[in-house]
A and B are shown apart, each in its own frame.
Chain A
Amino acid sequence: GQQLNQSPQSMFIQEGEDVSMNCTSSSIFNTWLWYKQDPGEGPVLLIALYKAGELTSNGRLTAQFGITRKDSFLNISASIPSDVGIYFCAGSSGSARQLTFGSGTQLTVLP
Chain B
Amino acid sequence: NAGVMQNPRHLVRRRGQEARLRCSPMKGHSHVYWYRQLPEEGLKFMVYLQKENIIDESGMPKERFSAEFPKEGPSILRIQQVVRGDSAAYFCASSPPGGGHGDEQFFGPGTRLTVL
Chain A interfacial positions (CB closer than 8 Å to B): 4, 6, 30-31, 33, 35, 40-45, 48, 50, 88, 90, 92, 94, 96-104
Contacts and interface: CB of A to CB of B under 8 A. Distances in A.
A17 B102 CA distance: 34
Interface string B101-116: 1111111111010000
A97 B104 contact: no
A90 B40 CA distance: 16
Given A35-B107, A45-B107, 14 more contacts: A33-B103, A33-B104, A40-B110, A42-B109, A43-B91, A45-B104, A45-B105, A97-B56, A98-B45, A98-B48, A99-B103, A101-B43, A104-B40, A104-B41
A42 B108 contact: yes
A17 B98 CA distance: 39
A42 B107 contact: yes
Interface of B: 4, 6, 31, 33, 35, 40-45, 48, 55-56, 58-59, 91, 93, 95, 100-110, 112
Given A42-B91, A42-B109, A44-B107, A96 B44 contact: no
Pairs A-B, 4 closest by C-beta atoms: A101-B42, A42-B107, A98-B45, A31-B103
Given A41-B109, A42-B110, A44-B107, A99 B31 contact: no
B91 to A, nearest CB: 5
Contacts of A30: 103
A98 B104 contact: no
B56 A41 contact: no
Contact of B59 (A41, A50, A98): A98
B45 A99 contact: yes
B35 to A, nearest CB: 8
B42 A102 contact: yes
A96 B43 CA distance: 16
Nearest to A104: B42
A41 B91 CA distance: 9
